[in-house]
Amino acid sequence: MNPTRIILADDHELVRDGIKSLLENEEDFQVIAEASDGKEALKVIAQNPPDLLIVDIRMPIMNGIEVVRNLTKDFPKVKKLVLSMHDSEEYVVESIQAGADGYLLKGSSKTEFLKALHTIAGGGKFFAGDISEIIINNFVKGKAKAGVKADPISEEVSILTNREKQILTLILEGKGNNEIAESLDISRRTAEVHRFNLMKKLNVKNLIELSNKSRELNLI
């Protein structure tokens, strides 16, 4: 069986090199080209369409969501995996609406990354647990807009992903970002991003406010 031909689109050369290094011993996948911005990605794809595009959301000239949207229209057979540092609902939902076949956080493990590639290459969709919950929450919110009333507190809790709830527990246990990263087998940067998103969603600025809000919402 021929390997799945992949194009990488990310404005950070270090990220592209990391993915190539990760895949170099994987017989099922072959990186055939790279791009450092969205416009270049579309040009490279037009010259040599791959089976699968791995694309970052935040890139210069044209972002990843626009690239996915263009591919869905002009190259519908090309699979699209969005790889991002951001698990915000806005990014996830826009990526799916644009036609993404998967959405994965950059802090994911090698095992999960390869699982995503195999799933998408095989014709399936792949959204990590945290991302799946965001999709479900968006669906619930859609129903609420249609006239189904939701409890404000329940809605506030529902916007937290499973990962954010795990991190909340660890924060309230007094663990720092390094300890959280080690406990959950993620990078320190990913732990910081999750922590920032968690506090932003709960509208708190420090540990005391976070602790009080958690008690108010019966999260502890």
- Render pLDDT for 148-173 as a digit per residue (tens, 0 to 9): 444 443 444 456 777 888 888 888 88
Domain membership of residue 178 (yes or no) is yes
Both 108 and 170 in a single domain? Answer: no
Both 194 and 107 in a single domain? Answer: no
Both 66 and 17 in a single domain? Answer: yes
Domain membership of residue 204 (yes or no) is yes
- The closest of 5, 101, 100 to 49, measured between CA atoms, is 5
pLDDT class of 143 with cuts at 50, 70, 90:
very low
Give the chain's radius of gyration (CA, Å).
19
**Rounded-to-integer distance, Cα 71 and Cα 57, Å:** 14
DSSP for 161-202?
A: -HHHHHHHHHHHTT--HHHHHHHHT--HHHHHHHHHHHHHHT
CATH of the domain at 198: 1.10.10.10
Express each pLDDT in 172-209 by its tens digit: 888 888 999 888 888 888 888 888 888 887 888 888 88
Which 3-state string (H, E, C) describes 123-136?
CCCEECHHHHHHHH
Angle between helices 188-201 and 177-184 (to 10 degrees): 110
3-state secondary structure (DSSP) of residue 35? strand
Domain membership of residue 106 (yes or no) is yes
Question: Residue for token digits 């390997």?
Answer: 3
Express each pLDDT in 16-29 by its tens digit: 999 999 999 899 99
Residue 115 scores a pLDDT above 50:
yes
**Rounded-to-integer distance, Cα 212 and Cα 3, Å:** 52
pLDDT class of 132 with cuts at 50, 70, 90:
low
Domain membership of residue 84 (yes or no) is yes
Residue 32 scores a pLDDT above 50:
yes
Percent pLDDT > 70 in the chain is 82
Both 18 and 123 in a single domain? Answer: yes
Mean pLDDT lowest among 30-34, 89-93, 111-115: 89-93
Total domains, the chain: 2
- The average pLDDT across 110-130 equals 87
CATH of the domain at 49: 3.40.50.2300
Where a domain ends, among 69, 101, 129? 129
pLDDT score, position 152: 43
Backbone φ and ψ of 176, nearest 5°: -90, 180
Host domain of residue 193: 149-214
Mean pLDDT lowest among 78-87, 129-138, 191-200: 129-138
Q: What pairs with residue 52 in β-bridges?
A: 6, 79
Both 105 and 189 in a single domain? Answer: no
